[in-house]
Amino acid sequence: MLDETRPVRFSELRAKWGWLVALGVIMLIFGGIALANLFLATVVSVYYVGALMLVAGALHVAHAFQVRGWESVLFWALSGLLYLMAGLLTFANPLLASAILTLLIGAALLFAGLVRLWVGFKLKGAEGWGWIVLSGVVTMLAGIIIAIGWPVNSLWILGLFLAIDLIMQGWSLVALGLALKR
């Protein structure tokens, strides 16, 4: 049951339930397309990250000329130039970029899993602590599996993550939209 007193205006959302369902269906279709061609989805993901780095680099360089003092100018300009170089390298060699990103994701998942295990065992005795430990184990295993398959899996792992995210977002929007309709 939705609480109408919440800051979010559910009456406005209810009126737009069809749009949520439509957006969810579109995301499901895109997720299916990504799942059908994981390599292409990986390349698209890498280009997206590269484009974000180019935009961030340009903004850093522009910001460098807005700050006072040479130290600040040099820091922001150098930061912006590094972002720009990384973005350009991503577009120049998307396969290398996907390998680097995949390795970083594997390492991040492994570290996040270890942290969750540590937190879970620190909470031992509290209700639900086992779920945190289980979450840590699963996250850690995902990181280990990515690291074991690296660099070969870097051709498809980012695309798989994108496909799963699109599918999960799509289903959740469809479910939300249908729940709001009722």
13-17, 34-38, 142-146: the lowest-pLDDT one: 13-17
Whole-model pTM? 0.74
pLDDT > 90? residue 22? yes
65-69, 155-159, 174-178: the lowest-pLDDT one: 65-69
Contact 31, 152 (CB under 8 A): no
At residue 85, the pLDDT reads: 96
pLDDT > 90? residue 7? no
